[in-house]
Structure 1
Amino acid sequence: MGRLAGKVAFITGAARGQGRAEAVRLAAEGADIIAIDLVDNPSRYVKYPAATQADLDETAKLVEQQGRRVLARKADVRKLDELEAVVREGVAQFGRLDVVVANAGIVNYGRTWELDEEQWQDLIDINLTGVWKTVKATVPVLLEQKQGGSVIIISSVAGLKGLPFLAHYAAAKHGVVGLAKTLANELAEHDIRVNTIHPHGVRTGMTDDSMRDFLAQSPMLAPIYMPALPYQMVEPEDIANMVAFLASDESKYITGAQLPVDLGALNR
């Protein structure tokens, strides 16, 4: 029996990358999966290819190969009604909800004073407000069940460190830490744990060449991004491993924590 046998997990941004790895890993641990993704370009400032419906379908297929049930739907974390509809459908189909993984996010780059309003707002709407809406759509179900639960928010090294050319991203990722800490206090009496995970760069394809250009123009800032361990990036499965731990009873006494998977970058 897996660590999550009989559990149900809701995962945002599940079509590929970290979200897919998390869905597959939690399924391997015995959980049924409710998976959502926008499967469209969320902002004209996002330069890497958007996830597709085919990507989300592949995630569903991989979950089913683990012998688990899956509900995969297109939904936008900026739209509360869409999130609530998928949560209702998933709970009706699987009977419960136990784990929430707020994973969906975007990234783009720019000097703080050169970001325009739309670029700032698009990222905040998805990476911060979208997490709050994910919580708003799911936590009432956990409370109604009265059986506890685990809420896991994917933050970043940029949620604990001021990374250059990422002011909007760092503001959002710092913001979800405050959200998680507050939720951890509010939900503790209900045995619902809330934690954040802080990856260094993850090999998901969510990047473009503009960061390299900015660092070339300001080489003194490059060391801020350097890891301590002799690796350049972590794999999506490494983040999924931490998600599985926080979703399981092995972490039942951990809440309000910020867990880095950062190659030692935060020690620099």
Structure 2
Amino acid sequence: MKRLQNRVAVVTGAAGGMGRAHCRRLAEEGADIIAVDLEENAADMVAVAEEVESLGRRCVTGFADVRDPLAVEEALNTGVTRLGRLDTVVANAGVYADLAPTWELSDNSWQRALDINLTGVWHTVRAAGPHLGSGASIVIVGSTNGIKGGAAAAHYSASKHAVVGLARTLANELGPQGIRVNTVHPGSVATPMILNADVYAKLLPDLPNPTRDDAARVLAQRTILPVPWVEPVDIGNAVLFLASDESRYITGIQLVVDAGLTQKV
């Protein structure tokens, strides 16, 4: 028996690197998927659905900006109606952009990060709540910047610290109903959110046109294990564990997957 056989999971930000990995990993273990992302990512969502269905599972795609509570609710309700239940919530949608020192951040950059990374999680969990019962699991994807601070990312770090508080509160509120709530905190992950020119420039501000290899050398110096980043499947494996009965008595924790980034002295 697969670990999530015949269960249903909703994944927000499903078209992106980590979101797609979550959909695939949960489907590999028997889950049907409600995949939610922006309509502008429709082509990628088709690919996600095809990948899930190639594993013998059903996939319902829905389009919503997590900043829009009505759109999130509609996408989720449609998915539950078609698939019949909801067992797992993976609040994965997030942004890591407009990196700058705190005093140079615009009001729009600050608010966008909070609206998507924090309020979007709240919208997702609130819409899912009426569909969840005993044994359900909510997994919120945070960041190592939700465990420690990060220069030039005050908006991102603040939003990711905040979801830890939200998750701890939800764990206390939903625990008596048998519903678990935990956060997963990736370090650098090999997705376009990290592997892009803006991040390379932040890592090596004195180097003209830094490359992926240049960034890898810098990031490898920050981890205990000899790698610059982890792969999306490594975060998917952590999400799978927290979604499965293997973690049935784990709630309110922060599971860090960062190759030792937050522990290096």
Whether these two folds match at TM > 0.5 is yes
Say whether 1:262 aligns with 2:258: yes
Letter in 2 for 1:251: S
Mapped to 2, the partners of 1:225 and 1:172 lie a distance apart of: 26
Are the equivalent residues in 2 in contact too, given 1:150–1:247 (CA < 8 A)? yes
Q: List aligned pairs for 1:97-246, cutoff 5 A.
A: 97-108=86-97, 109-142=99-132, 146-207=133-194, 208-217=196-205, 226-246=222-242
Mapped to 2, the partners of 1:236 and 1:214 lie a distance apart of: 22
Letter in 1 for 2:189: V
Are the equivalent residues in 1 in contact too, given 2:61–2:79 (CA < 8 A)? no
Mapped to 2, the partners of 1:159 and 1:76 lie a distance apart of: 22
Mapped to 2, the partners of 1:238 and 1:150 lie a distance apart of: 19
Question: Matched residue of 1:35: which SS?
Answer: strand
Question: Matched residue of 2:62: which SS?
Answer: strand
Change (3 A) 1:24 1:217: closer
Are the equivalent residues in 2 in contact too, given 1:9–1:31 (CA < 8 A)? yes
Map Cα deviations across residues 118-177 of structure 1 (whole Å, 9 max, x no partner): 0111111101100010011001221xxx33300000000000010111110000000000
1:94 aligned residue (79, 83, 87): 83
Map Cα deviations across residues 167-218 of structure 1 (whole Å, 9 max, x no partner): 1000000000000001001111001000000101111111432333334448
Map Cα deviations across residues 203-235 of structure 1 (whole Å, 9 max, x no partner): 11114323333344489xx78981111000111
Mapped to 2, the partners of 1:257 and 1:185 lie a distance apart of: 12
Q: CA RMSD in A?
A: 1.7
Are the equivalent residues in 1 in contact too, given 2:220–2:228 (CA < 8 A)? no
| 1:24, distance to aligned residue in structure 2 (A) | 0.8
Mapped to 1, the partners of 2:160 and 2:7 lie a distance apart of: 28
Q: List aligned pairs for 1:3-152, cutoff 5 A.
A: 3-40=3-40, 52-108=41-97, 109-142=99-132, 146-152=133-139
Where do 5+ consecutive residues of structure 2 fail to align?
208-217
Mapped to 2, the partners of 1:86 and 1:225 lie a distance apart of: 42
Q: Which 4+ runs in 1 deviate beyond 2 A?
A: 207-219, 222-225
TM-score by length of 2: 0.91
- State the number of aligned residues: 252
Overall identity of the aligned pairs, in % = 51
| 1:70, distance to aligned residue in structure 2 (A) | 0.6
Mapped to 2, the partners of 1:126 and 1:72 lie a distance apart of: 19
TM-score by length of 1: 0.90
Change (3 A) 1:77 1:152: same
Question: Matched residue of 1:5: which SS?
Answer: coil
Are the equivalent residues in 2 in contact too, given 1:14–1:56 (CA < 8 A)? yes
Are the equivalent residues in 2 in contact too, given 1:10–1:35 (CA < 8 A)? yes
Where do 5+ consecutive residues of structure 1 fail to align?
41-51
Letter in 1 for 2:115: D
Mapped to 1, the partners of 2:239 and 2:39 lie a distance apart of: 23
Are the equivalent residues in 2 in contact too, given 1:18–1:239 (CA < 8 A)? yes
Change (3 A) 1:74 1:258: same
